């Protein structure tokens, strides 16, 4: 009888041990998955929700986009300066960034991450008059731009030269965008750019927008 009891006890202990090992293995896998997901989000791809109508018609309120954080280089989490730089933003790129000064907190803007289009590059003379943006004295052809109110006077800007390592940004919905024209410092340091927006992965505005490449 004692032998049978000992065998039962041993089997019970083995089962308990196997369960503990299974739980430990699961927790290790979970920690690994979370760590990998964090690293991907921090350094490669990050989701972002469009909080305002400042990029209409290109991006609509309710669009969810993915930001490619390796567009211009590699940087460690919480470190603004790139440790490896591939390239610099190009005119027309739609980028997600943080402001170096206090962020805009109006209800139609994000108070942490902002999305706009790069218009002016280092050394460019930028100017906005009415419904036209000028680079080095030449009007830009901008089929993506929308001037819903016909070009507000408050939106006029420049001419002004973009300093080194900085860009000038505008929202596509020009008369309803708090962008470079309205900031205390109109030029954004490139180190504040988190990455380039490249695809809409979900949209409450229209399911037909899902999968659209952002241009």
Residue matched to tokens 């930001």: 67
Catalytic residue among 52, 54, 71, 177: 54
Q: Is residue 49 among the annotated active site residues?
A: no
Q: Is residue 54 among the annotated active site residues?
A: yes
Instruction: Write the DSSP assignment of 148-196 as a string of letters.
Output: TTS--GGG-EEEEEPPTTEEEEE-SBGGG---GGGSSS--EEGGGEEEE
Catalytic residue among 69, 110, 116, 166: 116
CA distance 144 to 59: 10
Distance from the Cα of residue 115 to its chain's centroid: 7
CA distance 115 to 213: 15
Residue matched to tokens 């991450």: 113
* Enzyme catalytic residues: 54, 116
């Amino acid at each position: 009888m004692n032998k049978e009891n000992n065998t039962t006890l041993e089997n019970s202990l083995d089962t308990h041990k196997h369960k503990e090992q299974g739980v430990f293995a699961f927790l290790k896998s979970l920690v690994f998955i979370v760590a990998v997901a964090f690293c991907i989000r921090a350094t490669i791809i990050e989701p972002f929700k469009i909080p305002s109508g400042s990029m209409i018609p290109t991006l609509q309120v309710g669009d969810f986009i993915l930001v490619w954080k390796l567009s211009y280089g590699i940087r460690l989490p919480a470190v603004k300066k790139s440790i490896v730089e591939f390239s610099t933003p190009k005119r027309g790129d739609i980028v997600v960034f943080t402001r170096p000064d206090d962020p805009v907190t109006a209800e139609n803007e994000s108070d942490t991450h902002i999305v706009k289009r790069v218009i002016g590059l280092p050394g460019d003379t930028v100017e906005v008059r009415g419904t036209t943006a000028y680079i080095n004295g030449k009007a830009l052809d901008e089929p993506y731009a929308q001037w819903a109110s016909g070009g507000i006077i408050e939106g006029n800007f420049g001419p002004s030269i973009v300093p080194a390592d900085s860009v000038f940004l505008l929202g596509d919905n020009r008369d309803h965008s708090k962008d470079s024209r309205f900031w205390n410092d109109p030029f954004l340091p490139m180190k504040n750019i988190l990455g380039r927006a490249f695809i809409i992965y979900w949209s409450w505005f229209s399911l037909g927008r899902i999968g659209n490449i952002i241009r």
